[in-house]
A = this chain, B = another copy of it.
């Protein structure tokens, strides 16, 4: 799998992209992205379950899954969320403007927004941005690179991943994904903005099903501070230009594996770039009765400020981890739980183990990657979850530098 858009990712056939500056971000950086397929696509999507769903989420949710889609227009710097009826009018207008330049109907364009909540979109800037973005659309990787930068807010790195698979017919299928997100990350059944495009041709019914299942294991298994956004959206566009007839049999499983690889790589990049983070924390919860139990425990540990600050301080204060598991709402017995931190066994079936605190502490300090393994004796279900530590820099970014 390749992870740099600019140089090495194979762009799926028939897709073009661009990113331009239209003046929404105060910084003057790229803030409007356009991704277009020259051929009608099948589109699948997953969206935030937040009751305060942004206007663009409401637009997309009403459309997908759908055939005949042509692309997506995205702005950063303004979330178009909690904006009432005017927000819905603006999201529809944004789709209409993009459809106008692309040459299709409004209902063939998807829309996404990210940024501050509660402000109306500056529609004149959006309009000028869409015209400018259309003028520089390109199938060259540089267009996708610009798009991946234009969707960033407080992200410090652009997040782009690609994968290819060779079908049993010998046809090569390309998958490429981009996403953004560094805070307000606590997806429930969806995530921050993620866009995956592919030139694969598959039975349509399978795409939404595959995307939903994969998002559950990837974008739904990350958090920064656990605050579920109003704008979480993952869209998959498939235009079928790579292969003449739809994939079938083992090729479908092969495609699903490649799609999962792209989504997991993108998802992990978000806590890896969490606001102010100094550690990415991978949490493995194993031996649970079912996935729901494992997820509840992983999320409780991931979202505990005390666990996050302990890792930041390289403090092997494992009591914070087991106590977070304890309030996850899962009725386990302490004797069913064991804990490893970066491979060091600290707690076994309800009893603390002797360990060298200085050794574990320097082990945490020396790497950006931290690994927590909570093993239960309750069943066979497991989950992997990714989060990051909580630092004073996160506080400064969110207390001192906003509005």
Contact = CB atoms under 8 A, between A and B. Distances in A.
Contact of A227 (B117, B324, B398, B399): B324
Q: Is the interface of A mostly helix, strand, loop or mixed?
A: loop
Contacts of A325: 51-52
Interface in A351-403: 351-352, 357, 361, 390-392, 394-396, 398-400, 402-403
Contact of A327 (B186, B306, B334): B186
Interface in A293-314: 304-306, 309-310, 312-313
Interface residues of A, number: 67
A35 interface: no
Contacts of A320: 117, 184, 227
Contacts of A304: 225-227
A229 to B, nearest CB: 7
A333 interface: yes
A372 B24 CA distance: 30
Contacts of A188: 327
Interface string A66-97: 00000000000001011111000000000000
A331 to B, nearest CB: 7
A227 B395 contact: no
Contacts of A83: 352
Interface string A228-248: 111000000000000000000
Contacts of A310: 398-399, 402
A118 B352 CA distance: 6
A347 B119 CA distance: 11
Nearest to A327: B228
Q: Which of A305, A312, A324 has the most CB of B within 10 A?
A: A305
B403 A334 contact: no
Contact of A305 (B118, B119, B390): B390
